[in-house]
Amino acid sequence: MSQGSVIDEEIARFNALAAHWWDANGPMRPLHMMNPVRAAWVAARVSRFRGAGVPILDVGCGAGLLAEALAKNGFAMTGLDAGAEVIGVARGHSEGQGLNLTYIQGTAEALAAEGARFPVVTALEIIEHVANPAAFLASLRTLLEPGGLLFLSTLNRTPRSYAVAKLGAEYVLRLLPVGTHDWTRFIKPEELARLCREAGLRLADTAGLSYSPLAGGFKVSRDLSVNYIAMAVAD
């Protein structure tokens, strides 16, 4: 581990996938399938509570799937990731699109220490990959303006998530590279709510992100047993 909540092995694993990040049928296929619904869920709530076009910081942005989607929805995006290779791919992919989008290589802790503040922060599919979720949330809280919105998505630690998101996705269907997830790091919604409270955040909304074979992608649902997304408000 280095740089606070960053785990070097996790950064190396995702850097190794950087060149294939934007291949919708490649190793990031589940994220491509999930991205439209999660981006729409975030955009609707940001527009409702903070207005259109506000600045958003996307922490753990990878090669920019969510950041680009939200920028195309008119938001002023800053993407942050500790991985040099994924940030390089993100910059290259967005070049020439005319998007209000900037990428920074670094950590949430370092950016918070610099005094950066945003009305909205997103950190999707990242908290299960950090060394210390409590410290990570504290850094995200520091990055928020008073009353700011934090969006998180992660995996619930249930028998079903082990069967579907770990064994099924990695070993049976091969949707993800083996070793992508450590089931013991998955976070139950009640645990996330407690961690948010300890960081000075109030969990205000949650929804399941459920795979729909008929739709060929994900949909918002009430089922939080595998993937779920949440919105918290800075107290």
Residue 48 assigned ligand-binding role:
no
DSSP state of 80: E
Token pair of 77 as six digits: 């995006």
Q: How many helices (H) and strands (E) does the chain have?
A: 8, 8
Token pair of 166 as six digits: 């770990």
Residue with tokens 């700011």: 148
Token pair of 6 as six digits: 């960053």
DSSP state of 100: S
- Phi-psi sector, 194: left (phi>0), alpha (psi -120 to 50), beta: alpha
Q: How many CB atoms lie within 10 A of CB 213?
A: 6
Residue 208 assigned ligand-binding role:
no
C-beta of residue 157 within 8 angstroms of C-beta of residue 186: yes
Q: How many CB atoms lie within 10 A of CB 218?
A: 19
**What is the longest distance spanned by two Cα atoms in the chain?**
46
83 SS3 class: coil
Residue 81 assigned ligand-binding role:
yes
> In what side-by-side order are the strands of the sheet with 118-124?
101-105, 76-81, 55-59, 118-124, 144-155, 227-234, 201-212, 217-221
Q: Which residues are documented as binding site? A: 38, 60, 81, 124
Q: Which residues are documented as binding site for S-adenosyl-L-methionine? A: 38, 60, 81, 124
